[in-house]
Chain A
Amino acid sequence: MDAYLDGLLDELVTAEPREAWSDVLHRARRSRRRYMALAALVGALVLAPAAWAAVNAFEGTPAPPAISEDFTQLNSMADLAVQQGIAAKWPHADVSKAHGVIEIQTADGPEDVWTAPSDEGGQCYFIDWANDPPEQDGSQYGFGGCPPAIPPASNISWGAAWIAGHPDLVTVDGNVYVDASTVQVTLDDGSTVTLPLVEHVFLGSLPKGSVVDKVTAFDAAGNVVARATAAAG
């Protein structure tokens, strides 16, 4: 049995290494530079109230066909997950109610988060860049999912994602499950970035390599109402 188990493990992962020490050196240097870029981003958010107005103007925009197709594909993946026995059930999005929530400006153009209510009481979401061309299947390039409707202990669910199509950016997004006015992310170097929070959803764009240590939600009076660390998710 041990030999059989070893054989299975041997076939489990085939990850050929690609030696690139120069890339390691590049990443180490770039990480230092990113802090300056981050400071500029913080300044832009603080000093440009117009940006916040633009965020609010986007809320409620009906989802275009390409975004509706993304939610439809999420539902297809949910069906597949159930069929394959990965889960007994999986949330589905009500595509007819998909709408825009937040639009932010990034180095790669406007980045949007769209949501649609899920049949489990939560919200499904999809994030894309408005200037990307539609895919051949009529969908829009991006990423999304349907987080559980049940709040985590921290009352914040969040993630920081990097995707191949926008290699210089890290998207930080998530949900706050209690009433709050703003969200602040704290990076591993101690710096902070304030993000827009609309319909309990927040969205931000950071330079690639940024590492989020903590997400904190504040009410209008500036009191902390929820906090999640990287370890707790």
Chain B
Amino acid sequence: MVDELEALYRERLPEFTRAAAAIAGDPEAGRDAVQDAFAKALRKRRRFRGEGSLEAWVWRIVVNAARDAGRRRRRRVAAPVPVEARAQELGLPLELLTERQREVLFLHYFADLDYTTIALGLGISTGTVGATLSAARETLRGALTKEAC
């Protein structure tokens, strides 16, 4: 199990890092969340019961760690976190999305995860993933189109 976790870490670190950075809103906090999440996965590895893939189980831990890191960061600093500031610069209205819509979008886009892995990672149904992703993209499309007009 330790070897499998290490292999997953080495193979998918860029995707874990980018998605965690997006969810936490801060690249450094995202990196730290990934390190903490894998450490937690190592400690709790006996709790993995093989229901779903190991990767989906680890994604769930990473997402929780990134969420916590983001909330701490936002509570402490009275200014937009780097990812929100960057979104403003780009004219990407992320603030129109719910937290779940953002997470689904980030996991799909930055980690290229399939719907099943996203569903297991976030603890929601596969159908909800599809609907949430469609709604998120539709919201952003609508806002960008309106802005362009």
Contact = CB atoms under 8 A, between A and B. Distances in A.
Nearest to A211: B68
Sorting the interface of chain A by its residue count into under 10, 10 to 19, 20 to 34 or 35 or more gives: 35 or more
A131 interface: no
A78 B78 contact: yes
B42 A12 contact: no
Contacts of B80: 84, 86
Interface residues of B, number: 46
Contacts, number: 112
A24 B39 contact: yes
A8 interface: yes
B121 interface: no
Contacts of B137: 2, 5
Contacts of B42: 24-25, 28
Given A1-B145, A5-B144, A15-B18, A77 B79 contact: yes
A160 B76 CA distance: 9
B55 interface: no
Contacts of B34: 17
* Chief secondary structure at chain A's binding surface: mixed
B109 A9 contact: yes
Interface of B: 6, 9-10, 13-14, 16-18, 20-22, 27, 30-31, 34-36, 38-40, 42-43, 68, 71-72, 75-80, 83, 86-88, 90-92, 105, 109-110, 137, 140-141, 144-145
Interface of A: 1-2, 4-6, 8-9, 11-21, 23-25, 27-28, 31-32, 74, 77-78, 80-81, 84, 86, 90, 143-147, 159-162, 209, 211, 230, 233
Given A1-B141, A84-B88, A86-B79, 8 more contacts: A6-B109, A8-B91, A12-B87, A14-B27, A17-B16, A25-B39, A78-B78, A159-B72
24 contacts: A5-B141, A5-B144, A8-B91, A12-B92, A15-B17, A15-B20, A15-B21, A15-B30, A17-B14, A17-B16, A18-B31, A19-B13, A20-B35, A23-B35, A24-B38, A28-B42, A31-B40, A31-B43, A81-B78, A84-B80, A86-B80, A90-B78, A230-B68, A233-B75
